[in-house]
Amino acid sequence: MFMKIEQPFDLSATLSSGQVFRWKREGETWHGLISNNLVSLELSGNVLKYKTTMNPSKKMEDLITKYFRLDDNLPGIQASLDWDFRLSQAIGALGGLRLIRQDPWECLISFICSSNSNISRISRIMNSIAQGFGDKITLGSLVGFQFPGPNILASIGEVGFRELKLGYRAEYVDKTAKILADNQMDLNELKSLPYFKAKAWLMALPGVGAKVADCVLLFSLDKLESFPIDVWVRRAIEEWYFNGEQLSYEKLAQWAADYFGPYAGYAQQYLFHHRRTGEFSGS
């Protein structure tokens, strides 16, 4: 099946930008899960070729649109950020990088596991959880695993998670899963809360501090004003905007919201990628 893309879109950059951790690349084709359906994607020019377990296949196009936020007017958002020198550079270098609207539960677990870790390890852990406890789905020769929900993760136990090499994060994932399983709450409900209320709710969960909460809010709960500050973004902001001065997380976050405005989250994603890939010139 084919789908025409009317928005700036770099599929590979988007899927390997550290927002999601379970997509796999084979040549120019990517496969992974969207709303528990297995999908393979290949983008050439402005045509997205896709195959999916979803039936009818055509229904997948709405899910793809939502997942990759193709319903955001990215050129307009970029225009609202382009006045800043660093962002202008970053957007020029990688204007097809998009935020992803992913499932909040998997996103939450991913970023609890991200603390003091790295992308390849997070991927390994998330894949081992899915393969060990999620339902298998196939699409031709492709195999995928759905990410197990709170009830299933709540039954694994801290020891089980340590066997999966989560380290000290095992306790956090175990406790968070048990809380969500007990609440029987769909995290999507947090979308209806204002940013600070939703953030406070998330931060009450074990293993969820300001940074993890901001990632979940930005990548899965439509809070585009959220500005997650990891070590890379911190270095970039302190160096580029504060002359090397060190500031607390909340001060930087408040500054970013004031400075970049309602789409600070996109600004963060561009700055993060710009800084990590080193595609920035001095001064």
Partner DNA sequence: CCACGGCCTGATTC
Partner DNA sequence: AGAATCAGGCCGT
Task: Assess 128 for contact with DNA (CB under 7 A).
Answer: no
Question: Which one of 231, 243, 245, 283 is in contact with DNA (CB under 7 A)?
Answer: 231
23: which DSSP letter?
A: -
CB of 243 to DNA, least distance (A): 17
Task: Assess 167 for contact with DNA (CB under 7 A).
Answer: yes
Distance between CA atoms of residues 243 and 17, nearest Å: 27
Task: Assess 119 for contact with DNA (CB under 7 A).
Answer: yes
Stretch that binds DNA, among 48-56, 69-77, 203-211, 236-244 (CB under 7 A): 203-211
**Active-site position among 58, 59, 175, 211:** 211
Question: Which one of 230, 238, 240, 241 is in contact with DNA (CB under 7 A)?
Answer: 230
Question: Which one of 97, 99, 100, 212 is in contact with DNA (CB under 7 A)?
Answer: 212
78's enclosing H/E stretch is: helix 74-81
Q: What DSSP line would sit under 216-241, residue for residue?
A: HHHHHS--TT-----HHHHHHHHHHH
Which residues neighbour 89 within 8 Å (Cβ) at sequence distance 6 or greater?
Answer: 274, 280, 281
Q: Which amino acid is at 14?
A: T
Distance between CA atoms of residues 64 and 258, nearest Å: 31
Distance between CA atoms of residues 53 and 259, nearest Å: 43
Cα dihedral value 198, 201, 204, 207, nearest 10: -40
CB of 213 to DNA, least distance (A): 6
Distance between CA atoms of residues 261 and 80, nearest Å: 9
Structure token digits, residue 91: 């957007």
CB of 154 to DNA, least distance (A): 17
Task: Using the minimum distance from each CB to DNA, give the nearer residue, 51 or 274.
Answer: 274
Verify whether residue 211 is a known catalytic residue: yes
Residues 84-113 that bind DNA (CB under 7 A): 111
Q: At what angle do helices 104-112 and 119-133 cross, to 10 degrees?
A: 130
How many residues bind DNA (CB under 7 A)? The answer is 39
Task: Assess 215 for contact with DNA (CB under 7 A).
Answer: yes
Distance between CA atoms of residues 271 and 280, nearest Å: 10
Question: Which one of 63, 210, 225, 257 is in contact with DNA (CB under 7 A)?
Answer: 210
Task: Assess 206 for contact with DNA (CB under 7 A).
Answer: yes
Task: Assess 62 for contact with DNA (CB under 7 A).
Answer: no
Pattern 232-271, DNA, x by CB under 7 A: x-------------x-x-xx--------------------
Which residue do the tokens 């990891």 mark?
A: 230
- Count Cα neighbours of 119 within 13 Å in the Cβ-side half-sphere: 10
CB of 47 to DNA, least distance (A): 27
Task: Using the minimum distance from each CB to DNA, give the nearer residue, 232 or 240.
Answer: 232
Task: Assess 25 for contact with DNA (CB under 7 A).
Answer: no
Task: Using the minimum distance from each CB to DNA, give the nearer residue, 60 or 212.
Answer: 212
Q: What are phi and psi of 14, to 5 degrees?
A: -65, -45
As annotated, the active-site residues are 211
Binding site for DNA (CB under 7 A): 17-19, 111, 114-121, 162, 165-169, 172, 203, 205-213, 215, 228, 230-232, 246, 248, 250-251, 272
